[in-house]
C-alpha cells in the first residue's frame, strides 16, 4: 500500500515536532502556517512549505490540523483559506487540535457533504511527547477510518478510538481536567511541605512511587522546584480547554466543582501577566495567595 501523502496545517509548538516525526518515518509532508516563518525551518527536514492552506492540502490523502481553537479550524477548513474545498474527495481531515465536541461534530457533517472524512484526535503529552513520538492520541470517528490511519498515528504516539465524532474532544477535556486539577494539587502539596520547613525537592522524591505518583508530580513538580516556567503547555490554552470542559459539563448536566475552582485560579494567573507561562506556573498564583514562595531561586519565564 502506498504511503499516504500528508498535509499538516499549523506548525507551532506541537505541529513542528509532529511534522519532524512524520518526515522521519518516511512520509511526504507539506506544511502550512499562518505565519510562514514558523513553517520555513521544516524545509531543512524535508517538508514542502506551502504559501496557502489550499495549496498544502491539494492532493493530500490525510490533512492534519494542529490549530489553536475551533474558530480557527473552521476558518481554515471552510472560510477564506478554502482548505476543505481544495481537498480530494475521500481524503481524511485528521483534526488534532483541541476544540469543543459540538464543533468537531459539526465539522464532520460539513466535510461529509463534500465527500471528505473526519477524525477528531486531540493529543496529550506536550512538546516533549510530540518530539519523542509518545503522545496520547484520543480518536473519535468511524472505526474503519481510524484503523486506516494507524501508520500515520504510529510515529506520533499511541492512538485509541474512544467513540464517534466528538468523542476524541471529550477525552481530551477529561485529560485537561485531570492535568489542571493535579497541577493544583502538586502546587499545594509542595507549598505545604515548604511552609513547615521540609525540603520540597526531597518531599517530591519521597512521595514518588506511592499513590501520589503521576507524570505531573514527576515533570511539573520538577519544573516547580527548578522554577522553570518556560512554556510547554501555556496557561491561556489551558484556560480555553477548561472553559470548554465546563461548557461540556453543563451540556451533560454534571457539576464539576474541583474543575471550576482550578479554572478560576488559572484565569487569575492569566490575567496577572501569566498567559504565556507554562501551566505548571499555577504555583505562582498559589504563592501570591499564600504570601509564601517555593524556594529562593529566580523564575524562568517567557519573554
Enzyme catalytic residues:
172
CB 45 within 8 A of CB 67: no
Residues 6+ positions from 210 with CB-CB distance below 8 Å? none
CB neighbour burial string for 190-221, b if at least 16 within 10 angstroms, e if fewer: bbebbeeeeebbebbeebeeeebebebbeebb
Q: Which residues in 81-92 are b (16+ Cβ under 10 Å) and which e?
A: bbbbebbeeebb
Residue 234 sits at φ, ψ, to 5 deg, of -85, 150
Q: Coil, helix or strand for 62?
A: strand
Amino acid at each position: 500500500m502506498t504511503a499516504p501523502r500528508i498535509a499538516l496545517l499549523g506548525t507551532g509548538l506541537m505541529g513542528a515536532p509532529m511534522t519532524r516525526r512524520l518526515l522521519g518515518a518516511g512520509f511526504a509532508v507539506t506544511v502550512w502556517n499562518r505565519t510562514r516563518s514558523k513553517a520555513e525551518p521544516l524545509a531543512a527536514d524535508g517538508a514542502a512549505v506551502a504559501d496557502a492552506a489550499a495549496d498544502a492540502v491539494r492532493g493530500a490523502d490525510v490533512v492534519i490540523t494542529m490549530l489553536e481553537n475551533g474558530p480557527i479550524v473552521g476558518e481554515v477548513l471552510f472560510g477564506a483559506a478554502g482548505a476543505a474545498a481544495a481537498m480530494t474527495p475521500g481524503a481524511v481531515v485528521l483534526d488534532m487540535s483541541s476544540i469543543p465536541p459540538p464543533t468537531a461534530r459539526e465539522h464532520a457533517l460539513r466535510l461529509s457533504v463534500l465527500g471528505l472524512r473526519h477524525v477528531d484526535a486531540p493529543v496529550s503529552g506536550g512538546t516533549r511527547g510530540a518530539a519523542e513520538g509518545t503522545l496520547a492520541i484520543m480518536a473519535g470517528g468511524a472505526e474503519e477510518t481510524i484503523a486506516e490511519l494507524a501508520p500515520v498515528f504510529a510515529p506520533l504516539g499511541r492512538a485509541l478510538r474512544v467513540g464517534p465524532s466528538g468523542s476524541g474532544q471529550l477525552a481530551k477535556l477529561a485529560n485537561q481536567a485531570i492535568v489542571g486539577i493535579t497541577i493544583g494539587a502538586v502546587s499545594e502539596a509542595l507549598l505545604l511541605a515548604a511552609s513547615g520547613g521540609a525540603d520540597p525537592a526531597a518531599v517530591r522524591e519521597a512521595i514518588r512511587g506511592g499513590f501520589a505518583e503521576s507524570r505531573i508530580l514527576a515533570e511539573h513538580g520538577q519544573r516547580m522546584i527548578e522554577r522553570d516556567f518556560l512554556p510547554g503547555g501555556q496557561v491561556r490554552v489551558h484556560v480555553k480547554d477548561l472553559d470548554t470542559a465546563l461548557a461540556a459539563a453543563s451540556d451533560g448536566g454534571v457539576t464539576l466543582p474541583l474543575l471550576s475552582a482550578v479554572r478560576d485560579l488559572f484565569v487569575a494567573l492569566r490575567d496577572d501577566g501569566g498567559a504565556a507561562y507554562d501551566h505548571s506556573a499555577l504555583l505562582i498564583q498559589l504563592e501570591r495567595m499564600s504570601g509564601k514562595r517555593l524556594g529562593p531561586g529566580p523564575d524562568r519565564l517567557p519573554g
